[in-house]
Each structure stands twice: as structure tokens, then as C-alpha cells.
Chain A
């Protein structure tokens, strides 16, 4: 399998649930990202990992918790989310600091 793979594609969760989003890249890249895309808003950067170290946490609420166990895998752990957290969550990877991003297909999250 090639590219950036995200699972699940769709997720519906209640406000008291705990779930995790998974991202895997097969491109040999050394940086991975989580973005949130809501309707009518620009892509919002959430977290950036470079060589498995978190280099950016863009003021994201603590109910979102990232994990990067190695350069190919990235997780986003979710707990006690709010309905306004419903959005498309996109994972991306890049080769370096000025290289283009390669996006996964995203996880459509609905919080009820």
C-alpha cells in the first residue's frame, strides 16, 4: 500500500466516548501532521511531528491527544469531545520543512 492511509473513514461518537484516529504513511517522510477541516473555515493545523518529536501544538484543547510512536505512524486520541469538534480530520506527511504535504483521505468525525 502506498501514500497516506487514515482509519476509520467515518466515526460517530458520543461526548463521553474515547476513540482514536490512526494514520500511516508509506512515503518515507519524516514529518507528520494533523489538520482539522470544518465547513467554511481554512484548514486548521493541530499538531506537527518531525522525526517523532512534537514540534507544534497549535493551542489545541487537551481532549485531543496526539501520539507518534515512529516516523510512519500517527494517532489522535479523542476523549470527552464536544459537538463542535465534528469535522474532517486530515493526516498529512512531508519529506521536509518546505516540501509539499501528502494528505490521507481523512476521517469524518461526528460527535453526538
Chain B
């Protein structure tokens, strides 16, 4: 059974702090890793993707991938109230599969 696990939260952080969101996955064949943000009542939108071990930075966002430990994380620096949303982790197998598997999502609340 291929699974993607996330703590449902909510994760509450003060404005300006670093928010750390974690995701673990069970399938060692996973090759592509994505973080989506979903505001209440809206559809998911892509924030970051990462394919290789290590860190990938884009503005206030950093994705970290550790394939040996089978986890991927998302760090949000200088968190803003507008970052309050549910963050979905998704992984995709290699070998031509078109099937991204999503976690349940972590609810993030950034309070002023």
C-alpha cells in the first residue's frame, strides 16, 4: 500500500516565525515530490516541487528531501497570516506512472 503521511495539525505559529511541515512516504520508488497549498473552499495550487535529495529554495519557501529516510519537508520563513492554509504533500512514482499520491494535508495557522 503506497501511503503519504502528514500530521493533520493544526500547526499554529506566530507571524514572522518559521513554519515546518513534514511528510513521510512509504514507497521507495517515489521520484517526484510536490507541495500544494489549499485555501479553504479553493483548489490546490503548486508551491514547490523537488526531485533530488537536499534543499530547494524559492523565496520564503524551502523544500527538503531525504530519500534515505523517506521524508520531505516544507519550511516557510517569515510566516504571514496569508500563509494560513492546508498544505498537501504529494509523491509520484517513477516508471511512467501518472499517479500522484496525496497526504491528508496539514492545516497551518499563522497568528498575528
Q: Are A104 and B98 in contact (CB under 8 A)?
A: no
Which residues does chain B contribute within 8 Å of A98, judged by CB atoms? 31-32, 51, 92, 94
Within 8 A of A (CB), among B1-60: 4, 31-32, 34, 36, 42-46, 49, 51
A-B contact count (CB 8 A): 51
Q: Are A97 and B98 in contact (CB under 8 A)?
A: yes
Whether A105 sits at the interface, judged by CB under 8 Å, is yes
Q: Are A100 and B99 in contact (CB under 8 A)?
A: no
Which of A13-21, A37-45, A63-71, A72-80 faces chain B?
A: A37-45
- CB A76 to nearest CB in B, in angstroms, measures 15
What separation, in Å, do the CA atoms of A108 and B31 have in the docked complex? 32
Q: Are A56 and B104 in contact (CB under 8 A)?
A: no
What separation, in Å, do the CA atoms of A48 and B102 have in the docked complex? 15
What separation, in Å, do the CA atoms of A98 and B94 have in the docked complex? 7
What separation, in Å, do the CA atoms of A50 and B98 have in the docked complex? 8
* Known A33-B98, A40-B104, A100-B34; 14 more pairs at CB < 8 Å: A41-B104, A42-B102, A45-B100, A48-B98, A50-B98, A55-B98, A56-B99, A98-B94, A99-B32, A100-B49, A102-B46, A103-B44, A104-B43, A105-B43
Q: Which B residues are closer than 8 A to A by beta carbons?
A: 4, 31-32, 34, 36, 42-46, 49, 51, 88, 90, 92, 94, 96-105
Q: Which A residues are closer than 8 A to B by beta carbons?
A: 31, 33, 40-43, 45, 48, 50, 55-56, 90, 94, 97-106
